[in-house]
């Protein structure tokens, strides 16, 4: 059975590569981890909703997880608080945080979030207009 088929099963919310966990202890063994909103006894599931012991030849591990949902911060903020979602228009989004040092304003995030993996351009904002000033880059 393929991972794409697993996500369609009852209570499944996420399928990822990870490690098998037994009794709360990471065994270090490679596994396809299937996160479900509620773990149920096999007798309570229909045959089509049972997670196989192996997925694509790799051991499976079913873990219960709380509801996964988007964070409540969906409005625009001025000034920007830490931990909001943002990103470069060529990629999805990620967490960004502001910092001011000696009146110089910075934003911090991963390179793929704010600079399209260093392919993006730096921009400065003047009023309501952004002006590109050069290439953006990761500063280690």
For the stretch 83-104, pLDDT in tens is 777 766 666 677 777 777 777 7
Residue 140 belongs to some domain of the structure: no
The torsion region of residue 134 among left (phi > 0), alpha (psi -120 to 50) and beta comes to left
Q: Which pLDDT score is estimated for 100?
A: 73
In a domain, residue 21? The reply is yes
Structural domain boundaries, residue 29: 3-64
For residue 50 the two structure tokens come to 């049972």
Question: H-type helices in 1-140, by residue range?
Answer: 3-6, 111-114
Q: SS3 of 89, please?
A: coil
pLDDT recorded at residue 117: 60
CB 64 within 8 A of CB 11: no
Are residues 58 and 105 part of one domain? Answer: no
SS3 state at 43? helix
Task: Give domain status of residue 69, yes or no.
Answer: no
Q: Is 73 domain-assigned?
A: no
Could you tell me if residue 45 is inside a domain?
yes
Q: What is the DSSP letter of 6?
A: H
Same-domain pairing of 10 and 52: yes
Question: Which pLDDT tens digit goes with each residue over 101-112?
Answer: 777 777 777 766
């Amino acid at each position: 059975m393929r991972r794409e088929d697993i996500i369609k099963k009852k209570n499944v919310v996420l399928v990822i590569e990870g490690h098998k966990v037994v009794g709360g202890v990471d065994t270090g063994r490679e596994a396809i981890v299937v996160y479900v909103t509620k773990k149920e006894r096999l007798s309570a599931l229909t045959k089509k909703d049972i997670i196989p012991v192996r997925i694509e030849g790799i051991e499976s591990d079913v873990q219960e997880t709380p509801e996964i949902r988007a964070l409540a911060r969906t409005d625009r903020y001025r000034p920007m608080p830490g931990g909001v979602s943002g990103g470069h228009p060529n990629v999805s989004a990620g967490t960004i945080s502001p910092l001011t040092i000696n009146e110089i304003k910075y934003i911090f995030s991963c390179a793929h979030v704010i600079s399209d993996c260093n392919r993006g351009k730096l921009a400065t904002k003047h009023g309501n207009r952004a002006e590109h000033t050069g290439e953006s880059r990761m500063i280690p």
